[in-house]
Structure 1
Amino acid sequence: MSTRISRDDLAARIAADIPEGSYVNLGIGAPTLVANFLPAGQEIILHTENGLLGMGEAPAAGLVDPDLINAGKQPVTALHGAAYFHHADSFAMMRGGHLDVCVLGAFQVAQNGDLANWSTGAPGAIPAIGGAMDLAIGAKNVYVMTDLLTRDGVSKLVERCTYPLTGAACVTRVYTDHAIFDVTERGFAVREAFGDNTTASLAALTGLDLTEPRPTETEPEHR
């Protein structure tokens, strides 16, 4: 049995966890896939920081509107009733606590919920600040979508971030190709393990003391 799931399957898993009626921002890269798997018939309003509320999934081939893009410059669609607005207004939405969920990528997530996703600090590396810092502190729930391990086999879940922080103690839940982890007062709790992964095998991969969620930690608080 495989120990990993595909990015599409992970995006579908994240989409299933987003409550109906939520205002959601999907970060650049893999998180944009979540838009393609939102449950049909549910109203989930997607926001992009370049000034669109009511974003739809990627357009079909041959139906691309060059004026409709997300923050990663990828073509998107606009749903009926969508609104366009100034970049500054979009950031006011993000910073003002008006988003229920954001989904971001990560270089590292610490067990206290610290997030590092804009720079590795390596000499010559091009930092990618974007709106991640505003989302990390402004969204009510911060979901991270990432591979559990780097290409070198190093865990992205860490005791303490060694890369420059995007936000402190801001992450609610981490969705990886191996398992889903909740950020709790006790550190990372394994909410769901994929394939033949177990809490023990995941602890060996990450080098962390992992637990399982308590009944009172079954779902993050959606305010």
Structure 2
Amino acid sequence: MRVDTLFNPTLQHWLDIAGIFVFAVSGALLAVRRNFDVFGIAVLAEVTGLGGGIFRDVVIGAVPPAAFTDLGYFLTPLVSTALVFFLHPQVERINKAVNVFDAAGLGLFCVTGTLKGHEYGLGLTSSVVMGLATAAGGGVLRDVLANEVPSLLRWDREIYAVPAIVGSSAVALLIHLDEVRPTTAVGAALLAFVLRLLALRYNWRAPRAWKRSSATLDAERAGSDRA
């Protein structure tokens, strides 16, 4: 089933805008923390909000990407930029609420990314990868541009990729069973959303290498400092 026929097109558009807005806010906040100027804040907001979708569209051949054909998609991160530029102390104070909306964006984009990948001829496994890339790609690009290890790869951050993979895999299973409906797609998005919220609530983190203790890591750091 095509993404644009699964949901009401107007509803789908505004859900996309909402997800882009929240992702862009997280990029703009990181830029402020890194003491970027207004141009740097705007770049990080655009990359975070649109990067995952652009990467997906380029890979699957849906060109030009939607971010370049819909002015609303491009302007939304600029609205986030203005908001954070002038009101970043207040935005920081509602960071928990931002995280909730970010989790909602994660759930939405992993579902739409998986569906769109399959719509353009990818197999189920590759479609799951596209779902993950759509949901998390912008955040990875944001961290790379800010000269940080991507949050997706850091053991000291709550799991982010896992909820996206679970949501995308649920969609792939629905496709395999020919059970993709608005209700089941929303259920897959809610699954990813709830997993992400639980990870934030209980500080769930992905395991590190087997038998790799923090003491070993501390010893390596000490040796590196001496060198």
Q: TM-score, normalised by structure 1?
A: 0.29
- Between structures 1 and 2, the one with greater helix share: 2
Larger relative contact order (Cα-Cα within 8 Å, sequence gap ≥ 6): 2
Larger Rg: 2
- Between structures 1 and 2, the one with greater strand share: 1
